[in-house]
Amino acid sequence: MTLYYQDDFVSIFNGNCIEILKELPSKSIDLVITDPPYGIDFHGRGKGAEKIANDKSFDNVAQLIQQVIPELVRLLKDDAEIYWFCSGGSQKPLIAQVWLEFIKLKPQVVVKNLIIWDKLYPGLGWDWRFQYETIFQLYKGKGIKSEGHCRGNVISARKVIPKFGEHPTPKSPDIIEKLLLPKSKPGDVILDPFLGGGTTAAVAKKHGRHCIGIELIDKYCEFAAERCRGIHNNNLMINPQDDCQGV
């Protein structure tokens, strides 16, 4: 496996996540937060916009789930959790299909909850425009005990509008923080096998967590590395467009 970037908190590997996961030691991970392909053949806006790899159809996603989840279970410590981002509705029953794939893997993992991420502003389109995505909360064993029991399963966090050439589906630091902080502590090891533009790694480093990230595309590894290089003294580098009131 190819180590693309490393500092005191973050290690970024470039390559196929299934192959790289097999090289990592068992029971070495405290928490997984990841944003895999949704199976919607997504590509960014504008001329020359790139598509997401392995996103052609749900068959790609089903294969990823069946190959990746057992490896994540092996890597996670006992009583751990996975947060797996999923689509926000479409003409296809993708959320239901993903749920059924997870059921096939019981008792390795159990779906504990389906979290709604309200992105606060609707996306492109007409009629009922998409404004949310879903996040599966998966338990290994008994999950992670955390303080606070008043959290609702609808999280409001502004979406990020990527610049041209950046990863087309970035996740905002805000949504990652709201998943990370209640379920981890400084020094924990966070894993993101579909790192994309590096938000999970950047947020983990900001808050004193270690992160192992895996990304297939070279240039997105570089985006992620640059974000992590820019974090010092608890100062998270955020895309200047993070505060845009989206389209």
| Over residues 199-210, mean pLDDT | 97
The full set of domains in the chain, from first to last, is 2-243 (3.40.50.150)
Contact partners, residue 121, CB within 8 Å, separation at least 6: 131, 158, 159, 245, 246, 247
Q: Tell me the per-residue pLDDT of 97-143, one tens digit each, with 9 for 90 and over.
A: 999 999 999 999 999 999 999 999 888 778 888 899 999 999 999 99
Of 169 and 240, the one with more pLDDT: 169
Q: Tell me the per-residue pLDDT of 189-198, one tens digit each, with 9 for 90 and over.
A: 999 999 999 9
Q: So what's the pLDDT on residue 66?
A: 95
Q: So what's the pLDDT on residue 51?
A: 64
Distance CA 228, CA 237 (A): 8
Closest-CA residue to 5 (of 241, 245, 230, 160): 230
Of 46 and 88, the one with more pLDDT: 88
54: left (phi over 0), alpha (psi -120 to 50) or beta: left
User: pLDDT class for 47, splitting at 50, 70, 90?
Assistant: very low
Q: Apex CA 100: angle with CA 84 and CA 110, to 5°?
A: 55
Is 11 a residue whose pLDDT tops 70?
A: yes
Structure tokens at 246: 């989206």
The pLDDT > 70 percentage for the chain reads 83
